[in-house]
Amino acid sequence: MSGWRLKLNEAEEQEYVTRRKEEGEQHAGAGPHRGLVLTFGHLHDLVAGTLDAHFVGDHTMANANERTRVARILVLLDRHVAACASCDGLNVDSEHSRVGAGLTDKELRGQRAFPDVLLHRRTVQSANVLALEVKLRESSRPRTGPDREDAVKIDIMTGYDHGLPYAMVPYAAGLCLNLDDNSAEGWWTVPAVGLHNEYERFAWGPSPILVGAFDVSLWTGVA
C-alpha cells in the first residue's frame, strides 16, 4: 500500500498492521526488503532502484528542470517504498510536517531545513529515515563535492552537527544527489556509522566503505 494512503480508523489500522506483520514474518529471509527491519543496505537499494527507474523510464526528461525531476524521483521512491515490507508505516514526503486531521504536527525547532524528499513516518517524531537533496549537474562545472547549501541541510536533518537544537529525532541518513541525464553522483551522511559526505557514483556500485555499513539498522517497523 502506498505511503500516501489515507489515515484509517483505529479498527482498520489494527487490521492493516496485523496483516502486514504477518506478511513480513512469512517473507522474512526470503530476499532483500523482506521482514520488518530496514537496514542501510535496504535503503541504498531503494534509492538505487529509484534512480534506475528514473533513468530508464524517464529518459525523455533529460532536459527537464530540477523541480520536475525531483517530483518524478519522489513518485518513484514512493512506489519502491510501497513494495518494501521493511518500510511498512513509512511515508515519502517533501516536508517533515505533513499532518492529517486531528494529528500532531512534527516540529523542527531552531532551524528551517526543507530537503527535496523525505522518508519518514508522518506525525511520529522519532521515525525519521532519509533526507534527500537533489541538484542537476552542470557539465561546464564538474562537482568535487555536494552542493554547499544542500550539505548544510543534510547536516541539520541528520543531526551531524550535534550542537543544533532539535525537537524531533534527526534523520538516520542523508543523501546529496547530483544528477545528469543518465547517471548520478551521491554523498551519503549516516552519523550512526560515522559516514559524512561519503561519495558514490551510482553507475559504478557502492564503495567498500558503504557496503561495510549495509547491515546497520535504520528503522524498525511494526513490532
- Successive 10-residue mean pLDDT values, the chain, 223 residues: 34 49 40 63 94 86 85 94 89 73 53 80 83 80 78 86 62 93 91 92 87 90 55
| Cell numbers that stand for 129 in this block | 529515515
What residue ranges in 87-168 does DSSP mark as E strands? 91-93, 117-120, 128-136
Measured CA to CA, the distance from residue 77 to residue 80 in angstroms comes to: 5
99 within 8 A of 120, measured Cβ to Cβ: no
H helix runs in the chain, sequence order: 10-27, 40-57, 66-82, 148-158, 208-211
**Closest to 135 in 3D by CA, of 61, 60, 65:** 65
pTM of the model: 0.77
pLDDT at 112: 57
CA dihedral 68, 69, 71, 75 (to 10 degrees): 140
pLDDT at 94: 85
Report all structural domains of the chain as residue ranges with CATH numbers, in order of start.
Answer: 49-220 (3.90.1570)
| Cell numbers that stand for 106 in this block | 512534527
Strand partners, 132: 117, 175
86 within 8 A of 37, measured Cβ to Cβ: yes
Instruction: Provide CB contacts within 8 A for 74, sequence distance 6+.
Output: 92, 94, 116, 117
pLDDT at 106: 58
pLDDT at 75: 94
Q: How far, in Å, are 23, 30, 58 from residue 202 at the CA level? A: 31, 25, 17
